[in-house]
């Protein structure tokens, strides 16, 4: 759902410094283009989100069921 995704991105903008936002956004784009594996995307996301539980929990909803175990 686009609204849910936009709300999550707004939270990222609210809670993370710009450099971390940029790193996360770049990883998403690389994943979508096929140049970044799901396990690496998850690693980058968790590194950027750190201890921000709201983002860690929220991003889980965007991981497909077949990859949730990795998360």
Site of tokens 């994943």: 31
pTM of the model: 0.86
Q: How many CA atoms lie within 13 A of 60 on its CB side?
A: 9
Per-residue pLDDT tens over the stretch 5-58:
999 999 999 999 999 999 999 999 999 999 999 999 999 999 999 999 999 999
Q: φ, ψ for residue 60 (rounded to 5)?
A: -55, -35
pLDDT over 90 at 64, yes or no: no
- Look at residues 66, 70, 20 and name the one whose alpha carbon lies nearest to residue 42: 70
């Amino acid at each position: 759902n686009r609204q849910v995704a936009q709300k999550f991105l707004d939270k990222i903008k609210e809670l993370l410094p710009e450099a971390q936002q940029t790193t996360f956004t770049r990883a998403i784009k690389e994943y979508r283009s096929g140049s970044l594996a799901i396990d690496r995307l998850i690693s980058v996301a968790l590194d950027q989100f750190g201890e921000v539980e709201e983002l860690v929990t929220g991003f889980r909803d965007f991981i497909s069921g077949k990859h949730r175990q990795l998360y």
